[in-house]
Amino acid sequence: MFTELQKYLGVGRVYKNRKNVVFVVRSIDEIVNTILPLFDKHPLRGGKKLSYNIFKEVSLMVKDKKKHLTVEGTHQIIELAYFMNKDTSLRTEESKKVLIEKLNLNNVSFPIVSKIPSIKALETPNNSAPISTEFIRGQIDGDGSFNVSFASTRRRIGVNFTVTHELASMSVLNELVEFFQCGAVYKLPTLAARFQVQSVNDILNKVIPVFRDTRFNTKKQKHFEIVIKICELINKNGYSKNEDLFKIVELAWDMNKAKNRKISKE
């Protein structure tokens, strides 16, 4: 997927390590000329929108105003951007102080960030445009999953559809509840929240119809197709008979391989 994204945009590079694949755009010219117009045309929502707006402001400060070349500008950029993506950042007030001290910026005067007009207007993310199916498809490719769980002690199968975000984007998850007219949002102990639909009936009648004519760009497409088959099997026959249970196990066992199941297939 990332290789296709890099080819489509014509910028950035794709890096691989043992566990992850990362698409990175570092060139300030590519960011300003390609990435910013892309997200201006297709706006983000929730906390990611606020982070993007700060990112855009800093990018323009670097590209057009060359503020990163001045002491005052460097201090201003640090104040603006240091706590972007706060829920997932390891940055602290103490680490910011250390950085400012190392850069000898303690005695530098700079405009109060909240009084910069372009930033003041960005403080509250605005989600006035209706949420779209295309936006949700991107959410699922990036942060969503279709799962099937098994509990051998109770002979129980669980089917669920989830999207997980940092707490700053919890408003987006609440929008998904309104969009699908089902599911719920749960806060997690990891400074994140999850939208989740666990009802087979809701998945069959409210989630699957939305994406019948849509293809996801990742392995989520295969998982979606498996969940359709399993929900239809459960709806038609249930799984009280061994033969029906075996069908579901065979279909679903290798989904989300990176997640270790607590019981063996046997």
User: In a 10 Å sphere around its CB, with 0-12 CB exposed, 13-18 middle and 19+ buried, how is residue 176 labelled?
Assistant: buried
| Rounded CA separation 260/264 (Å) | 10
What value does the mean pLDDT of the chain take? 87
Decide: 19 and 40 in contact? Cβ < 8 Å.
no
Q: Which of 248, 50, 23 is nearest to 156 (CA)?
A: 248
Find where tokens 């699922």 sit.
Answer: 140
**Phi and psi, residue 14, nearest 5°:** -110, 130
Nearest to 28 by CA among 64, 80, 76: 64
Bridge partner residues of 187 (DSSP): 193
Task: Look at residue 128 in the predicted model and tell me its pLDDT.
Answer: 63
- Reading the block at residue 259, the tokens are 């997640």
Half-sphere exposure of 110 (CA within 13 A, CB side): 20
In tens, the pLDDT along 218-231 reads 999 999 999 999 99
- Averaged in consecutive runs of 10 residues, what is the pLDDT profile of the chain (266 residues)? 90 88 94 95 88 92 86 84 79 87 74 52 60 93 92 86 93 95 94 95 96 90 95 93 92 75 80
pLDDT at 93: 87
- Residue 57's Cα: distance from chain center in Å? 22
Cα separation, 149 vs 112, in Å, equals 51
**pTM assigned to the model:** 0.83
Domains and CATH numbers, the chain: 2-120 (3.10.28.10), 133-252 (3.10.28.10)
